[in-house]
Amino acid sequence: MKINFHSGFILLAGVLGVATGTANAEHDLVVTQKSDVREAVLRRFLKESHSPVESYAENFILEADQHHLDWRLLPSLAVVESGAGQRNRKNNIFGWDNGASRFATAAEAIHHVAEALAEARPYKGKDLRGKLAAYNRTPGYRNLVTNVMMRISPVTEPEISF
């Protein structure tokens, strides 16, 4: 069997590609194993607040990240609107739609509000100040929410630990 230079080169490239793919897979595995300190910070805050939605700390973070929101915004809205879930009806921990909306779970409420804050007409393209002004026009509301955000963490992106 005669192998010309071109065929040998393709074979070598294929072997190198497999090796590179394996190296990348190992890197991806390491990346997925690191823990995000934001969840621990938020879980501790919610626990100290005696919040029934403490177990949703990861949901708050994942939805915020997916929708490009400050990770402290959603739980802060829940604290202001329902005492972090202590005063809510039908899982409406955000007082969404003046408290009229009903959700099957708190996770559904978190997803719905995160998506709305990112994509719905009154909020899309606005910074935090604009989103909060559209969410509730009551004087002082923005300060209430941002004060809770600072209580959760004074930094927007704590270091990620391994």
What whole-number distance in Å separates Cα of residue 42 and Cα of residue 54? 8
In a domain, 141, yes or no: yes
Check residue 29 and give its pLDDT: 36
In this structure, are 27 and 43 located in the same domain? Answer: no
In this structure, are 10 and 47 located in the same domain? Answer: no
* Structural domain that includes position 98: 37-152
Q: Where are the beta strands (DSSP E) in 9-80?
A: none
Q: Where are the beta strands (DSSP E) in 12-111?
A: none
In a domain, 162, yes or no: no
CB 162 within 8 A of CB 34: yes
Which residues, 6+ apart, have CB-to-CB distance to 35 below 8 Å? 160, 161, 162
Q: What is the pLDDT along the chain (162 residues), one digit of tens a residue?
A: 544 444 444 433 444 444 444 444 443 333 333 458 999 999 999 999 999 999 999 999 999 999 999 999 999 999 999 988 888 889 999 999 988 899 999 999 999 999 999 999 999 999 999 999 999 999 999 999 999 999 999 987 755 443
Torsion of CA 142, 148, 150, 153, to 10 degrees: -140
